[in-house]
Structure 1
Amino acid sequence: MFGRKKRNQKQYIIISTDDRGVHHHNVTRRRIFALMSLSIIFLAAVFFFSADAMTDILYKLKIEKIKQNYSSLSSTLVDLQNQMVEISSTIETIEDKDKALRTYADMPIVDQDVKKLGIGGVRLANNTNVENEFTDRLKSLEMDVDALTRKVKLELFSYSDIFDKVTDNVDVILSIPSIRPVESGYLNSSFGYRKDPMDGEIRFHYGQDITVNRGETVLAPANGTIKQARYMGGYGKMIKIDHGYGYTTLYAHLSKIYVKKGQKIKRGEKIGLSGNTGRSTAPHLHYEVHQYGTPQNPLDYFFSGNL
């Protein structure tokens, strides 16, 4: 019989030494190839799992960074919203001042519907990756900014209008009563019907009583000419000022009078001291405002701030 002739296989001899002597290890080419293949497979597996683990770590780091950025942005938004509240409050004060100035300048008040034009704003496109809460707050803030911007523009326009009016009517403006006649004290009996403190009868009260200590300085609320400065019955020591343009003011129950009939005075000038003279139960100032002889509510002429 003829047998198949086996192919010659190369062999590698690895020689190693140790305490027990020299050792020979025969390694075939096929075995080396198998070992190399297993090594490649092992290294590939290690690389795959290491890459996956690294990707997971990087992903977690990225998420943590996003969370930190979101937290920082949220904190910034809260600060901005708080600032917007303060700005809004300031604008409300400006609007009150605007109203006072317009009354002071005999101009119509800005219509409330016009002021409400500040409501609105351009909405942000919803294409961000932040959470809905953050997006909503950002939209709300942008709308608030837009509203306040419109309000500021409206007030600037209004102030410009007032400035033009005041410039053309300086004399009139300075003649309109606009400040409290005393800086201290508190409001007591108001303009209108009341129970008379002397006899309990219901009578119309033509002025505003301001409770103050005796000797408080009384100021002129506008430019004018002293029409009366004397003692007059129930009013006690009193002063009456003609401011022109139909306006007159009266101050009663004074303890001292600093001015004389016919004297010219300026707004804020001292004209006397509060007291308890005449028909009075306690120290106070009785203050009246008249326009073309018709009694007015003095509170309508207590404008805030220095006008």
Structure 2
Amino acid sequence: MTPVCFVALGDSLTEGVGDPVGGGLRGWAALLGPGLAAAAGEVRFHNLAVSGAQTGDVLHRQLPEALALRPDLVSVIVGVNDTLRCTFDVHTVVTRLDEVYGACARAGARLLTACLPDPGAMLGLPGPLARPLARRQRAVNSVVHALSERYDAVHLHLAEDAWVADRALWSADRLHPGERGHRLVAARFHALLAARGLAAGGPPSCEPLLPPPTRSANLLWLATAGTGWVARRCTDLLPQLLTLAADELRHQARGSSARLDLSAAQAVTAALAALTTAEQAGAA
């Protein structure tokens, strides 16, 4: 029997941050892989995800390598890092994701996608700082919902769920799942795939095999790797985020905060409509 080829694209979530094993990272995709086939050795798994990746990295760097592997399944979970950059533009995100999804579909691969919780809420940022990030993440999620439907992707809803509030599922950084969380994501993807007849093996266990990190280990991570993560992103985002927060406060004082939400929703609608217009022009 020809092995199933599963290729995972994306950022640190798929790379496996929060689920360290044997000096490396594992993550939900690696946990899902063995359950795609009935017997051991019938799955070829390739994880091309890289921490910090944005939609442009997936399109230009990860996708060509993925297509060369002739995959049967491709997971594409990316976009959070785009929202954390001063260059964020929902039209660009739409265009890039449509190119990635479309290329995978044309290659005959089944897509796996997911929407994600917003990083501001996960980090517990103050409202004026959190709301602009939440608005951006909602925009990305709306795009992923629409494009997942367009390409008949196996789509997992992870943005608004009880799992977000369950601290036992998350690592010390509050942004990445711990082992238990990664196992939950893998099990939920497996259930969706099995329902479509795309997973012949058993589901991954939801129970962690390793003890959770100690409090001292969590503090050490936050003081070293965690501090570096925040510093790298704040250098780029913080000046703009402060401007966005000031704008948020001005609208709040005027009672016009709804305009910001409406503007973001209209931008998503316009970006998706532009895809349709471009397709119609190409067909003509």
Instruction: Tell me if both proteins adopt one fold, taking TM over 0.5 as the criterion.
Output: no
Which TM-score band applies after superposition, normalised by the shorter structure?
under 0.3
Structure (1 or 2) with the larger CA radius of gyration: 1
TM-score, normalising length: structure 2? 0.18
- If each structure's helix is expressed as a fraction of its own residues, which one has the higher value? 2
- If each structure's strand is expressed as a fraction of its own residues, which one has the higher value? 1
Where relative contact order (Cα < 8 A, 6+ residues apart) is larger, the structure is: 2
